[in-house]
A and B are shown apart, each in its own frame.
Chain A
Amino acid sequence: MASRKTSHPNRDNGDKYSVLLPTYNERENLPLIVWLLVKYFGESGYNYEIIVIDDGSPDGTLEVAEQLQKIYGEDKILLRPRAKKLGLGTAYIHGMKHATGNFIIIMDADLSHHPKFIPEFIAKQKKGNYDLVSGTRYRGNGGVYGWDLRRKLISRGANFLTQVLLRPGASDLTGSFRLYKKKVLENLVKQCVSKGYVFQMEMIIRARQLNYTIGEVPITFVDRVYGESKLGGNEIVSFAKGLLTLFATT
């Protein structure tokens, strides 16, 4: 027991990490992702809070979130629901208004992003004092699970095309597992206008444009355990439109 204190060397350095979890129909996944977050933050000893931004899910995600709040405490789990489904960008703005941390972590709540990487993100950020740290599926030990050849080909092809056209200085543009300094995220969100996939891409392109420094950590991306993953013609068309818009405007 005496060693308890020394096993949490990260707790008192004043940094606090606010995890923003936008949810829509994630009642299966939310308890699991929260459990994993609590586990890995507990082990690494960093100060944290989890902000659940539920967009009026009809499946009762909010009710599950309330139960989690009772289990883990109101200082750890914050609920900031909205009445209906609105854009991702506004979800971040909404969540950040209530965030007390000086760092913000954004990730998907569908378990494709594993909280075990968060301590690595934090270590990376501290090492280079980066303005943002982005998870990457395309480098080092990073990768994906549950993708067939077609999906891999589209992903790699789209990524290559984007690298050639935009030279963004980051390897994973459409991933949404990232850590930001709070001020940096506030500034970026204000400037970004795109939706969906393209929003994540615009964030990192604008970050480069504003001379923010970007660190990268390889992550494994385990595609949706529960629920359907989508990549149809619509996504590809909207990606292409977004890419061309960024090509012409940034």
Chain B
Amino acid sequence: MTKLLEWLFGVSVLGGVWASVTFDLFDLKLPQTYREVAWPMPLYLLVSFGCYSLATVGYRVATFNDCDEAAKELQEQIKEAKEDLRKKGLKM
């Protein structure tokens, strides 16, 4: 199953559950409060997922390591390499 189909499957299952509670499709005589809670649920989920995404990406951007040490080390090694290669007879 492709990822696309997995997503469609997941969304239809959730959508089915949501619709059957909200519109009482199976005539289960659910209490009114269930329907009131279920009705705006997709929007709640969407908003919470959006918040989670923003928070996660924001946190990861903020904590993305700046490798200053690595850059410094590389610069020094480049100097060393150039010298050594010149000694070995490399013409750049």
Q: Which residues of B contact A (CB under 8 A)?
A: 2-4, 7, 53, 56-57, 60-61, 64-68, 70-71, 74-75, 77-78, 81-82, 84-85, 88-92
Contact = CB atoms under 8 A, between A and B. Distances in A.
B78 A247 contact: no
A143 B3 contact: no
Nearest to B82: A32
A246 B3 CA distance: 8
A156 B3 contact: no
Interface in A18-66: 27-28, 31-32, 35-36, 64
B81 A35 contact: yes
A37 to B, nearest CB: 11
A141 interface: yes
B64 A143 contact: yes
What's the dominant secondary structure at chain B's contact region?
helix
A153 to B, nearest CB: 5
Given A143-B64, A143-B67, A160 B2 contact: no
A35 B84 contact: yes
B57 A157 contact: yes
Contacts of B92: 27-28, 31, 64
A249 B4 CA distance: 8
A222 interface: yes
B74 A222 contact: yes
B90 A71 contact: yes
Contacts of A35: 81, 84-85
Interface string A135-169: 00010011111110100110111001000111100
Given A36-B77, A156-B60, A160-B53, A145 B71 contact: yes
17 contacts: A32-B81, A36-B77, A36-B81, A71-B88, A71-B89, A114-B74, A143-B70, A144-B64, A145-B71, A153-B57, A156-B64, A157-B57, A160-B56, A160-B57, A165-B3, A222-B74, A225-B74
